Structure 1
Amino acid sequence: MKAAVISLGSVSSGWIRDALKKYFDSVDDLDINELEVALGGKDGQVLYKGKPLPKYDCIYARGSFRYAVLLRAITTLLNKNCYMPLRPASFTIGHDKILTHLKFQEHNVPQPTTFVATTAENGKKSVKNLTFPVIMKTPSGTHGKGVLIADSEESANSIIDALSMLRQPFLIQQYIDTDGRDYRCIVVGGEVIAAMRRVAAKGESRANIHSGGHGEKIELDEKTKKAAIAAAKSCGLDVCAVDILPSVKGPLVLEVNLSPGLQGITRVTGIDIAEAIAQYLFDRTVALRSKEGKEMMLELEP
Structure 2
Amino acid sequence: MRITVFSRGPSLYSTRRLVEAGKARMHWTEVTDHALCSPFLAQGNTAILLDGKPLDLPQVAIPRIGANITARGASIIRHLDILGVPHTLNADALMLARDKMSCLQVLARNDVPIPQTILCFSTREARLAAKRMNSYPVVVKLLESTHGVGVALATTPFQLERIVEGFLRFQDRVILQEYIAESRGVDIRAFVVGDRVVATMERRATGDEFRANIHRGATARAVQLSPEDEALVLKAARLVGVEIAGVDLLPSQRGPLLMEVNASPGLEGIEAATGVDIAGAIIDYAVSKVST
TM-score scaled by structure 2? 0.91
Within 5 Å, which residues of 2 pair with 1:136-285? 136-166=140-170, 168-177=172-181, 178-285=183-290
Q: For the residues of structure 2 that align with 1:262 and 1:3, how far apart are their CA atoms?
A: 18
What is the RMSD computed on CA atoms of the aligned residues?
A: 1.9
What whole-Å deviation, never above 9, does each CA across 1:173-205 have from its counterpart, x for those lacking one? 111120110001100112111001001011111
What whole-Å deviation, never above 9, does each CA across 1:153-188 have from its counterpart, x for those lacking one? 343233334334445110001111201100011001
Greater mean deviation of Cα atoms: 216-225 or 199-208: 216-225
CA contact (8 A) 2:142 2:171 kept: no
**SS at 2:18 equivalent:** helix
CA contact (8 A) 1:223 1:251 kept: no
In the TM superposition, residue 96 of structure 1 has moved relative to its aligned partner by: 2.1
Greater mean deviation of Cα atoms: 213-222 or 45-54: 45-54
**1:64 aligns to 2:70 (yes or no):** no
In the TM superposition, residue 230 of structure 1 has moved relative to its aligned partner by: 1.7
Partner of 1:127: 130
Partner of 1:105: 108
CA contact (8 A) 1:124 1:160 kept: no
Q: For the residues of structure 2 that align with 1:185 and 1:167, how far apart are their CA atoms?
A: 29
Return 5+ residue gaps in structure 2 as ranges: none
In the TM superposition, residue 37 of structure 1 has moved relative to its aligned partner by: 2.1
**SS at 1:140 equivalent:** strand
Partner of 2:90: 87
Classify 1:133/1:281 alpha carbon distance in 2 versus 1 (closer, same or farther; 3 Å): same
Q: For the residues of structure 1 that align with 2:111 and 2:45, how far apart are their CA atoms?
A: 37
Partner of 1:296: none
Classify 1:99/1:26 alpha carbon distance in 2 versus 1 (closer, same or farther; 3 Å): same
Q: Which amino acid aligns with 1:68?
A: T
In the TM superposition, residue 211 of structure 1 has moved relative to its aligned partner by: 0.4
Return 5+ residue gaps in structure 1 as ranges: 288-302
Q: Which amino acid aligns with 2:243?
A: D
Q: Which amino acid aligns with 1:122?
A: E
TM-score scaled by structure 1? 0.88
- Name the % identity: 29
**SS at 2:132 equivalent:** coil
**SS at 1:283 equivalent:** helix
